[in-house]
Chain A
Amino acid sequence: MINNNASSKINKRERQLLDLLQTGFSVSSRPYLTAAEEMNMTEDDVVEMVKNLRSKGVIRRIGGLFSARKLGFTSTLVALQVEKQWIEKVAHAICSYPGVTHCYERNHFFNLWFTLTSSDRNTEKKILTEIDALPGVEKLRNFPALKKFKLKVNFSFSEDSTD
C-alpha cells in the first residue's frame, strides 16, 4: 500500500471537510456554520480545522476561481527548450511576469513549461518575444487552447478509504 507522508497528515474528518469546502462552500453569512451542520461539528471546530489545514499548507487559499476568457483575458500554454545551465535563470525571469501563473521544469527537450494570462493577444505576443530573446532559450512553442474539454481543479477525497 502506497501512502505518502503528506496524505497521512490529513485525517478522515479533514478530508470530508476539504471535499465540502472545495465543491460545496456556502456563499452565505456563516459559511462555516453551514459546513459545521453538515459535518456534525461546531462552527468553532470547523474554523479551527480550516486554520490548521491552511497552516499545514493543504489549503492554498479560499476564494474565487475566475475564468480568464470571461473576464476578457487571454491565456496560453508555452513550452521552452532551454540550455541546461540557464534553466534557473530563465525560470526566474519568466516567473517575474505577473501573468505567468504556473512554471514547471519537465523531463523532455522542451524542459520548461509555463502558463501565461494576458489582457490581450498583443500583450501576450510582446511578452513571448521578450522571453524568446532571453539567453539560454533555444526554442519557444506557443500552445494556445483550441478547445476545452475540461477544467476542474479540485481534489476529491470521497473515494478515499484510508484513515
Chain B
Amino acid sequence: MAGKKSAVPARALPLLPAERQPWGAIIAFLLPAFTIYTALTAYPVFRTLWNSFHTVLPKKEEFIGLANYVTLAQDEIFWRSVKNTFIWACASPLAEVSIALLLALALYAKIPGMRFFRIAWFTPVLMSYVVVGIIWVWIYNYDWGAANAILRVLGLESWARAWIGDPKIALPSLIFITTWMWTGFNMVVLLAALHSLPSEVIEAAELDNCGWGAKLWHIIIPLVKPTLLNLLVLSFIGKMKIFDLVWITTKGGPLWSTETVSTYTYKRAFEWTTFDLGYPSTIAAVWFVFVLAAVLTLTWLFRQRDRLEY
C-alpha cells in the first residue's frame, strides 16, 4: 500500500512567500542592463538597418528600398576595402599567434633575461593605436626613419622604401605594425595556457624520450589548441574592424591600398560632401553580416571534435 498513489488528487496549495518568483527583484536587477543594452546596442543596430533602406538627411528621410545595396554592390572602392580588410584579418592572426607561440615557448623554457623579454614583448600592446601610428610613421620615414636607416647601415640601400607611401607595400607595412603590437598580448595568454598544462603529461613524454619538436607538435600544441583558436578568432574580429591605425598613418591611401571597410564607412559618413547616413549605414549593415558570418564559420571550423582527456 505504501507505493500506492493516493486516490485523492493533490490539492494545489498556495505558494509560500519564499517559493514565489521575486519579480520585483528580477526586474530591478535586469532593468538597468536591459535599458543600456536596448539603448546602446539593440537600437543602434536596428537604426543602422533601418537607415540602410532610406536616404537619411537632416530634414528628410526617404524610403529607397534596396537602392543603397545595389549601389554598394557596384562600388569598386568598397570592394577594394573589403579585400584589404580580409587580407589583413587573415594574415595578421596567423602571424601574431604563431610568433606569439614561439615567444611564449621561449619564456616557458626559461631563457636568460626572460623577465625583461616578457615586459619588452608585452609593452607595445599597452600603447594606443594613435601613439603606435605616430611612432611607426617616423620609423617608416624614407629619409630618416629607423627602417631605412638600418637597411642603409647594412648596405641594403636598394631595399629602402617609402613603406607606407607605396601602394604595393603599404598594406603589408601596416600589417607588420599590428603584428608587432599584438604579438605580446597573444604571447602572455599562451604563456598562461602553457603554465596550466598538466605536468604529468609532459613528464610522461620526457620519460618516453620525446624530443622538443615532437613534444611541441604532439603534446603542447594539441593541449593549447583551444587557446590558440580563441586568439585567432579574437584577432580576426579585431582586424575586421580596424580603423585607428589606418587613420593615423595613411587615411586609406595611397590609391586605396590601405582602405579598410571602417575607414571607408567613416569617409562616406563624414568626409564626402553629403549628409546622407543611408549609404554608410548600408556599408555598416553589410559588413556586420560579413563579420558575423565569418566568425560563425570560424567557430564551426575550429569546433573541438574530440574532447581531450588526460
The yes or no verdict on A and B being binding partners is no
Interface residues of A (CB under 8 A from B): none
